[in-house]
Chains A and B, each alone.
Chain A
Amino acid sequence: QKEVEQDPGPLSVPEGAIVSLNCTYSNSAFQYFMWYRQYSRKGPELLMYTYSSGNKEDGRFTAQVDKSSKYISLFIRDSQPSDSATYLCAPPDFGNEKLTFGTGTRLTIIP
């Protein structure tokens, strides 16, 4: 079983819709959770991270963690065409500094 699983999509939604992106993990030792965004033909870049259960908001983005079910979500409100990208979740391993990424979900926002 992979440590981090994501639905690869692709996911297409109309502009203005609420988007829900999900990630499951198997290692209960994961304490921190990161979301990276990757535009086409670019390297991934950090979007946001959280280190607790519950919600964290940053503008139109909300990260939600449910440690009891090992489930991570990223919500995008009022989605824009500029949000079209691949979204990768990455729970850092507290024992070392390497990041294991999910396969990513490819999102397209249709104008």
Chain B
Amino acid sequence: AQSVSQHNHHVILSEAASLELGCNYSYGGTVNLFWYVQYPGQHLQLLLKYFSGDPLVKGIKGFEAEFIKSKFSFNLRKPSVQWSDTAEYFCAADQSGGYQKVTFGTGTKLQVIP
């Protein structure tokens, strides 16, 4: 069965540190990939998405992710985190050509210490 794995369940960083959150998926064919963020008390918001083209995807708030097909990975990065980035981050994948049947990872809780 298709699956999405997030390796880090809880990450604690100091402000200005660099961030990389790992994500691996288990699909063999064409896949669409997403990163969502859920700030405390708020709904899920799309950070960025990859459908095709340039494997380096830039999203909102300075986040970016790189799709590496050979490694089945879609890691999220940010060069310098801020306290306001404290949230839970979800990687997700869809193999059906769009928002048809999205599979989410278990999430990574990021805590940024001022």
Q: A and B: real partners?
A: no
Binding site for A on B (CB under 8 A): none
